[in-house]
Amino acid sequence: MPLTSLILDGFKSFADKTEIQFTNGITGIVGPNGSGKSNITEAIRWVMGEGSAKSLRGRSMKDVIFAGSEFRKPLNRAEVTMVFDNRQRELDLPADRVTIARRILQSGDNEYLINGKQVRLRDVRALFMDSGLSQNSLAIISQGRVDQILNSQPKERRGIIEEAAGVLHFKQQKQQAQAQ
């Protein structure tokens, strides 16, 4: 289920509406310290339903809204949209193009939209349930987590790799079968 683009509008350092397009293969995002690379991965976690402001390096969820800079006034809303190519129907929706959006206002009001239609957070979660992109998946590994993986014991590290490769599930099934 290819992610074709990510649109940030008023999210953290992205005051201007910015679209990042992902083509086939691997995309690398490079830039100087503080240029917003981590903000991009945080935007992806946020639109998929991240509920912890702290894990997005903020105190309150409203801290994701562009807070102003030397040259620009603060904004009063933030919006992030993910666009998926769903021609293979990996997301359970009868549409070739699926957009998932989240919006927050300065008042704290927060909403989710799937293909432009307002939905609940649980609808967004349900859509990603079997895609390997759920909230605690290893699809997104933060800077801190990299150190944790490098410093882990071999057995623990193997477990992380097995989980990422999707073999843990089969290993558990094998153990169950052997126990019978």
Q: Which does 12 bind (CB under 5 to 8 A by kind): ligand ATP, Mg ion, none?
A: ligand ATP
Candidates 39, 81, 86, 99; binder of ligand ATP (CB under 6 A) is: 39
Backbone angles phi, psi at 3, to 5 degrees: -80, 115
Residue type at 162 in one-letter notation: E
Listed in sequence order, the DSSP H helices in 48-180 are 121-128, 143-150, 154-165, 168-179
Q: Which does 116 bind (CB under 5 to 8 A by kind): Mg ion, ligand ATP, none?
A: none
Residue type at 176 in one-letter notation: Q
Q: Is 32 annotated as a binding residue?
A: yes
Q: Is 131 annotated as a binding residue?
A: no
Query: Any contact of residue 12 with ligand ATP (CB under 6 A)?
Result: yes
- Report, in Å, the least distance between residue 12 CB and ligand ATP: 4
39 or 99: CB nearest Mg ion: 39
122 vs 48, 65, 111, 114, 167, CA distance in Å? 10, 23, 12, 12, 27
Q: Which does 31 bind (CB under 5 to 8 A by kind): Mg ion, ligand ATP, none?
A: ligand ATP
Candidates 5, 63, 125, 159; binder of ligand ATP (CB under 6 A) is: 63
37 or 77: CB nearest Mg ion: 37
Q: What is the DSSP string of 138-150?
A: TTS--HHHHHHHH
Token digits of residue 62: 């409203």
136 vs 17, 34, 125, CA distance in Å? 28, 26, 11
**Which spans of this chain sit near Mg ion (rule: CB under 5 A)?**
37-38
12 or 103: CB nearest Mg ion: 12
Q: Which residues bind ligand ATP (CB under 6 A)?
A: 12-13, 31, 33-39, 63, 65-67
Residues belonging to the binding site for ATP are: 32-39
